[in-house]
Amino acid sequence: MPMNKCIDQQFDAEIFIPALLKTYDRIAGSANFHGLKPLPQMQVIGQICGEFLELMFPGRCGRERRGLSLEQILLQQLEQVGSSLKGQIMLAYQYEDPTLDRWDALVQADQVVRSLSAILPQIRLKLKRDVQAGYDGDPATKTVREVVLSYPYIKSLTTHRIAHELFKMEVPLIPRMMNEYAHSETGIDIHPGAHIGSAFFIDHGTGTVIGETTVIGDNVKLYQGVTLGALSFPKDGCGSLIRGVKRHPTLEDNVTVYANATILGDITIGENSIIGSNVWIKGSVGPNTMVTIADPQMTIREINKAKTP
Protein backbone atom coordinates (compact mmCIF):
# COMPACT_ATOMS: atom_id res chain seq x y z
CA MET A 1 0.00 0.00 0.00
CA PRO A 2 1.43 3.41 -0.93
CA MET A 3 2.70 5.44 2.04
CA ASN A 4 0.51 8.45 1.30
CA LYS A 5 -2.59 6.23 1.27
CA CYS A 6 -1.72 4.92 4.77
CA ILE A 7 -1.30 8.44 6.06
CA ASP A 8 -4.60 9.55 4.57
CA GLN A 9 -6.55 6.83 6.39
CA GLN A 10 -8.39 7.98 9.54
CA PHE A 11 -6.46 7.40 12.77
CA ASP A 12 -8.50 5.02 14.91
CA ALA A 13 -7.57 6.01 18.48
CA GLU A 14 -10.06 3.60 20.05
CA ILE A 15 -7.75 0.69 19.22
CA PHE A 16 -5.03 2.00 21.52
CA ILE A 17 -7.11 3.41 24.40
CA PRO A 18 -7.83 0.15 26.35
CA ALA A 19 -4.13 -0.67 26.83
CA LEU A 20 -3.33 2.95 27.66
CA LEU A 21 -6.21 3.10 30.15
CA LYS A 22 -4.75 0.20 32.16
CA THR A 23 -1.59 2.17 32.88
CA TYR A 24 -3.63 4.84 34.63
CA ASP A 25 -5.46 2.31 36.82
CA ARG A 26 -2.17 1.11 38.29
CA ILE A 27 -1.41 4.46 39.88
CA ALA A 28 -4.88 5.87 40.37
CA GLY A 29 -4.98 8.51 43.08
CA SER A 30 -1.23 9.05 42.92
CA ALA A 31 0.00 10.55 39.64
CA ASN A 32 -3.40 10.78 37.99
CA PHE A 33 -5.27 14.08 38.04
CA HIS A 34 -8.41 13.04 36.18
CA GLY A 35 -11.51 13.56 38.26
CA LEU A 36 -9.79 15.78 40.82
CA LYS A 37 -10.69 19.37 41.56
CA PRO A 38 -8.95 22.08 39.50
CA LEU A 39 -5.22 22.30 40.17
CA PRO A 40 -2.85 25.26 40.48
CA GLN A 41 -1.46 26.14 37.06
CA MET A 42 2.19 26.92 36.30
CA GLN A 43 1.23 29.67 33.87
CA VAL A 44 -0.68 31.51 36.61
CA ILE A 45 2.10 30.89 39.12
CA GLY A 46 4.54 32.48 36.68
CA GLN A 47 2.33 35.54 36.40
CA ILE A 48 2.17 35.78 40.19
CA CYS A 49 5.98 35.64 40.41
CA GLY A 50 6.15 38.49 37.91
CA GLU A 51 3.65 40.53 39.91
CA PHE A 52 5.67 40.06 43.10
CA LEU A 53 8.76 41.24 41.24
CA GLU A 54 6.86 44.37 40.23
CA LEU A 55 5.62 44.84 43.81
CA MET A 56 9.14 44.62 45.25
CA PHE A 57 10.61 46.87 42.53
CA PRO A 58 7.81 49.13 41.23
CA GLY A 59 8.29 50.14 37.62
CA ARG A 60 10.65 47.28 36.81
CA CYS A 61 8.19 45.87 34.30
CA GLY A 62 7.81 49.25 32.58
CA ARG A 63 4.11 49.78 33.24
CA GLU A 64 2.52 53.17 32.71
CA ARG A 65 0.79 54.35 35.89
CA ARG A 66 0.72 58.08 35.48
CA GLY A 67 -1.07 60.16 38.05
CA LEU A 68 -0.78 57.54 40.79
CA SER A 69 1.27 57.96 43.95
CA LEU A 70 3.64 55.21 45.04
CA GLU A 71 1.21 54.32 47.82
CA GLN A 72 -1.62 53.91 45.31
CA ILE A 73 0.58 51.81 43.03
CA LEU A 74 1.60 49.50 45.87
CA LEU A 75 -1.99 49.14 47.05
CA GLN A 76 -3.17 48.28 43.56
CA GLN A 77 -0.31 45.85 43.01
CA LEU A 78 -0.74 44.08 46.35
CA GLU A 79 -4.48 43.65 45.84
CA GLN A 80 -3.89 42.18 42.39
CA VAL A 81 -1.17 39.71 43.31
CA GLY A 82 -2.85 38.83 46.62
CA SER A 83 -6.09 37.90 44.88
CA SER A 84 -4.32 35.71 42.31
CA LEU A 85 -2.16 34.00 44.91
CA LYS A 86 -5.15 33.35 47.16
CA GLY A 87 -6.95 31.56 44.34
CA GLN A 88 -3.98 29.31 43.58
CA ILE A 89 -3.38 28.49 47.25
CA MET A 90 -7.06 27.59 47.64
CA LEU A 91 -6.71 25.09 44.77
CA ALA A 92 -3.56 23.67 46.35
CA TYR A 93 -5.33 23.10 49.67
CA GLN A 94 -8.21 21.36 47.91
CA TYR A 95 -5.74 19.17 46.02
CA GLU A 96 -3.98 18.19 49.24
CA ASP A 97 -7.28 17.43 51.00
CA PRO A 98 -10.07 16.50 48.54
CA THR A 99 -12.61 16.57 51.39
CA LEU A 100 -11.96 20.26 52.05
CA ASP A 101 -14.77 22.42 50.70
CA ARG A 102 -14.18 25.60 48.75
CA TRP A 103 -15.06 27.96 51.60
CA ASP A 104 -12.71 26.37 54.16
CA ALA A 105 -9.90 26.27 51.60
CA LEU A 106 -10.51 29.92 50.77
CA VAL A 107 -10.40 30.91 54.45
CA GLN A 108 -7.06 29.15 54.88
CA ALA A 109 -5.69 30.74 51.70
CA ASP A 110 -6.81 34.17 52.83
CA GLN A 111 -4.98 33.78 56.14
CA VAL A 112 -1.80 32.76 54.33
CA VAL A 113 -1.94 35.79 52.04
CA ARG A 114 -2.54 38.10 55.03
CA SER A 115 0.41 36.58 56.91
CA LEU A 116 2.64 36.93 53.87
CA SER A 117 1.57 40.53 53.31
CA ALA A 118 2.53 41.39 56.89
CA ILE A 119 6.15 40.35 56.33
CA LEU A 120 6.61 41.87 52.87
CA PRO A 121 8.50 44.86 54.36
CA GLN A 122 11.14 42.51 55.79
CA ILE A 123 11.39 40.67 52.47
CA ARG A 124 11.77 43.96 50.63
CA LEU A 125 14.61 45.06 52.95
CA LYS A 126 16.42 41.77 52.37
CA LEU A 127 16.07 42.20 48.61
CA LYS A 128 17.50 45.72 48.81
CA ARG A 129 20.57 44.28 50.53
CA ASP A 130 20.76 41.53 47.89
CA VAL A 131 20.77 44.17 45.16
CA GLN A 132 23.47 46.17 46.93
CA ALA A 133 25.56 43.01 47.30
CA GLY A 134 25.41 42.53 43.53
CA TYR A 135 26.47 46.09 42.89
CA ASP A 136 29.28 45.94 45.45
CA GLY A 137 30.47 42.52 44.31
CA ASP A 138 30.58 42.95 40.54
CA PRO A 139 32.79 45.61 38.93
CA ALA A 140 31.06 44.93 35.61
CA THR A 141 27.87 46.69 36.72
CA LYS A 142 27.65 50.47 36.58
CA THR A 143 24.46 51.15 38.58
CA VAL A 144 22.19 49.55 41.14
CA ARG A 145 19.35 49.84 38.63
CA GLU A 146 21.31 47.66 36.21
CA VAL A 147 21.38 44.93 38.85
CA VAL A 148 17.62 45.12 39.42
CA LEU A 149 16.72 45.19 35.74
CA SER A 150 19.09 42.64 34.26
CA TYR A 151 20.68 40.30 36.80
CA PRO A 152 18.92 36.90 36.89
CA TYR A 153 19.61 36.27 40.57
CA ILE A 154 17.29 39.15 41.50
CA LYS A 155 14.37 37.50 39.74
CA SER A 156 15.28 34.16 41.30
CA LEU A 157 15.79 35.56 44.82
CA THR A 158 12.60 37.63 44.77
CA THR A 159 10.66 34.49 43.93
CA HIS A 160 12.59 32.40 46.45
CA ARG A 161 12.09 34.79 49.35
CA ILE A 162 8.32 34.75 48.77
CA ALA A 163 8.21 30.99 48.20
CA HIS A 164 10.32 30.34 51.30
CA GLU A 165 7.77 32.07 53.52
CA LEU A 166 4.95 30.04 51.95
CA PHE A 167 7.03 26.90 52.44
CA LYS A 168 7.41 27.68 56.16
CA MET A 169 3.62 28.11 56.34
CA GLU A 170 3.34 24.57 54.89
CA VAL A 171 1.42 25.71 51.82
CA PRO A 172 1.31 22.70 49.47
CA LEU A 173 2.55 22.75 45.85
CA ILE A 174 2.78 26.51 45.39
CA PRO A 175 6.31 27.12 46.77
CA ARG A 176 7.83 24.41 44.58
CA MET A 177 5.94 25.62 41.54
CA MET A 178 7.17 29.17 42.14
CA ASN A 179 10.80 28.14 42.39
CA GLU A 180 10.59 25.82 39.41
CA TYR A 181 9.20 28.72 37.42
CA ALA A 182 12.16 30.85 38.51
CA HIS A 183 14.48 27.95 37.67
CA SER A 184 13.13 27.78 34.13
CA GLU A 185 13.50 31.55 33.76
CA THR A 186 17.00 32.00 35.19
CA GLY A 187 18.80 28.65 35.30
CA ILE A 188 19.12 29.06 39.08
CA ASP A 189 17.56 26.19 41.05
CA ILE A 190 16.79 27.04 44.69
CA HIS A 191 14.53 24.79 46.72
CA PRO A 192 11.98 26.88 48.66
CA GLY A 193 13.07 25.24 51.90
CA ALA A 194 16.59 26.69 51.70
CA HIS A 195 17.30 29.41 54.27
CA ILE A 196 19.23 32.33 52.77
CA GLY A 197 20.55 35.27 54.78
CA SER A 198 20.78 38.88 53.66
CA ALA A 199 23.13 40.48 51.12
CA PHE A 200 23.25 37.31 49.01
CA PHE A 201 24.75 37.49 45.51
CA ILE A 202 24.89 34.86 42.76
CA ASP A 203 27.19 36.09 40.00
CA HIS A 204 26.04 34.89 36.55
CA GLY A 205 24.02 32.13 38.23
CA THR A 206 23.51 29.63 35.42
CA GLY A 207 23.49 26.08 36.74
CA THR A 208 23.51 27.02 40.44
CA VAL A 209 21.71 24.44 42.62
CA ILE A 210 20.78 25.03 46.28
CA GLY A 211 19.11 22.12 48.09
CA GLU A 212 16.18 22.08 50.48
CA THR A 213 17.96 22.05 53.84
CA THR A 214 20.79 24.39 52.86
CA VAL A 215 21.49 27.23 55.30
CA ILE A 216 23.31 30.30 53.96
CA GLY A 217 24.49 33.13 56.19
CA ASP A 218 24.87 36.84 55.44
CA ASN A 219 27.13 38.35 52.79
CA VAL A 220 27.63 35.10 50.90
CA LYS A 221 28.61 35.09 47.23
CA LEU A 222 28.27 32.19 44.78
CA TYR A 223 29.33 31.93 41.18
CA GLN A 224 27.78 29.95 38.33
CA GLY A 225 27.55 26.19 38.47
CA VAL A 226 27.86 25.87 42.25
CA THR A 227 26.04 22.90 43.78
CA LEU A 228 25.02 22.86 47.43
CA GLY A 229 23.63 19.34 47.45
CA ALA A 230 23.09 16.16 49.43
CA LEU A 231 25.77 13.50 49.65
CA SER A 232 23.35 10.65 50.37
CA PHE A 233 19.71 10.09 51.17
CA PRO A 234 19.00 8.37 54.53
CA LYS A 235 16.41 5.59 54.47
CA ASP A 236 14.27 3.96 57.12
CA GLY A 237 14.08 0.22 57.91
CA CYS A 238 11.71 -0.33 55.00
CA GLY A 239 14.01 1.33 52.50
CA SER A 240 11.95 4.49 52.12
CA LEU A 241 13.61 7.89 52.08
CA ILE A 242 13.57 9.75 55.39
CA ARG A 243 12.37 13.25 54.59
CA GLY A 244 12.92 16.51 56.43
CA VAL A 245 16.37 15.73 57.89
CA LYS A 246 19.30 18.12 57.40
CA ARG A 247 21.27 16.80 54.43
CA HIS A 248 22.64 19.92 52.72
CA PRO A 249 25.52 22.26 53.61
CA THR A 250 25.60 25.27 55.90
CA LEU A 251 27.58 28.27 54.63
CA GLU A 252 28.40 30.73 57.37
CA ASP A 253 28.74 34.50 56.93
CA ASN A 254 31.06 36.04 54.33
CA VAL A 255 31.75 32.84 52.41
CA THR A 256 32.64 32.97 48.70
CA VAL A 257 32.24 29.91 46.46
CA TYR A 258 33.71 30.06 42.96
CA ALA A 259 32.40 28.51 39.75
CA ASN A 260 31.46 24.83 39.51
CA ALA A 261 32.37 23.96 43.09
CA THR A 262 30.39 21.05 44.55
CA ILE A 263 29.67 21.02 48.29
CA LEU A 264 27.75 17.99 49.52
CA GLY A 265 26.12 16.81 52.72
CA ASP A 266 25.30 18.20 56.14
CA ILE A 267 28.63 19.96 56.54
CA THR A 268 29.67 23.49 57.47
CA ILE A 269 31.80 25.96 55.55
CA GLY A 270 33.15 28.33 58.19
CA GLU A 271 32.83 32.09 58.05
CA ASN A 272 35.12 34.13 55.81
CA SER A 273 36.21 31.04 53.89
CA ILE A 274 36.88 30.91 50.16
CA ILE A 275 36.08 27.82 48.10
CA GLY A 276 37.88 27.66 44.77
CA SER A 277 36.51 26.58 41.42
CA ASN A 278 35.84 22.92 40.57
CA VAL A 279 36.48 21.53 44.07
CA TRP A 280 34.50 18.61 45.48
CA ILE A 281 33.92 18.98 49.23
CA LYS A 282 32.36 16.32 51.48
CA GLY A 283 33.72 17.45 54.86
CA SER A 284 33.41 20.59 56.94
CA VAL A 285 35.81 23.48 56.39
CA GLY A 286 36.92 25.70 59.27
CA PRO A 287 36.54 29.48 59.28
CA ASN A 288 39.04 31.74 57.49
CA THR A 289 40.10 28.91 55.16
CA MET A 290 40.84 28.79 51.44
CA VAL A 291 40.18 25.52 49.60
CA THR A 292 41.54 25.01 46.08
CA ILE A 293 42.70 22.19 43.85
CA ALA A 294 46.22 21.99 42.48
CA ASP A 295 46.81 23.80 39.22
CA PRO A 296 46.49 21.38 36.31
CA GLN A 297 49.64 20.68 34.35
CA MET A 298 49.42 22.21 30.90
CA THR A 299 51.29 21.12 27.81
CA ILE A 300 51.91 23.76 25.18
CA ARG A 301 53.32 22.80 21.79
CA GLU A 302 53.45 24.25 18.34
CA ILE A 303 51.28 22.69 15.67
CA ASN A 304 53.07 21.97 12.43
CA LYS A 305 50.89 23.06 9.60
CA ALA A 306 50.60 20.64 6.70
CA LYS A 307 52.55 21.79 3.67
CA THR A 308 50.41 22.73 0.73
CA PRO A 309 51.35 21.15 -2.63
Distances (CA, A) of 98 to 85, 93, 172, 202, 233: 20, 8, 13, 40, 31
Same-domain pairing of 181 and 236: no
* DSSP label at residue 79: H
CATH number of the domain bearing residue 281: 2.160.10.10
Same-domain pairing of 181 and 213: no
Mean of all residue pLDDT scores within the chain: 90
Same-domain pairing of 128 and 251: no
Same-domain pairing of 84 and 120: yes
Confidence of residue 28 (pLDDT cuts 50, 70, 90): very low
Sheet holding 268-269, edge to edge: 195-196, 215-216, 250-251, 268-269
Is residue 7's pLDDT more than 70? no
Same-domain pairing of 183 and 221: no
How many angstroms separate the CA atoms of 110 and 118, rounded? 12
* Residue 31 vs residue 113, higher pLDDT: 113
Same-domain pairing of 214 and 85: no
Tell me the mean pLDDT in the region 121-145: 97
Same-domain pairing of 183 and 219: no
What pLDDT score was predicted for residue 27?
A: 53
Is the residue at 99 inside a domain? yes
Contact 82, 117 (CB under 8 A): yes
The domain total for the chain is 2
Give residue-wise pLDDT tens across range 200-240: 999 999 999 999 999 999 999 999 999 999 987 666 666 66
Same-domain pairing of 222 and 170: no
**Residue numbers of the domain that contains 143:** 33-187
CATH number of the domain bearing residue 181: 1.10.3130.10
